[in-house]
Structure 1
Amino acid sequence: MKSISGKKLGKIVEQRGWILKRVTGSHHIYQKPDSQAILSIPVHRNQDLKLGTLKSLSKQN
């Protein structure tokens, strides 16, 4: 798995149907419109996310 930035990951999840609900600090909170599933993506400038964070987010997806 290749590391990507939080900003780029946000664009990917939006293409997959997630909706940006709010921004709390540096975390963008996404929600699926048909469920209560929530995804919190850290967006720190243009830094790549660590692989462990990406794996954890992919399990929630």
Structure 2
Amino acid sequence: MRNYELLMAIYDRCPDSNKREYTVDQYFDRCLDIRQMIETHRPELVKGDSEYPQQEVGIDY
């Protein structure tokens, strides 16, 4: 799948809250679907396991 096709598939999977109301579970499910799509078609973008977790963004010590 090319980048454009992947982006369009992700965009199609994004919920449109203007058309209907979604629950938190539905938003979470869509996010997981999008992550899985990226992991399947672009495995080089998947963050690998690091033995140095302090270098990850958003972790406070």
Find the structure with the greater CA-based Rg: 2
Structure number with higher strand proportion: 1
Bigger relative CO (Cα 8 Å, ≥ 6 apart): 1
Same fold (TM over 0.5): no
TM-score (normalised: structure 1): 0.28
TM-score (normalised: structure 2): 0.28
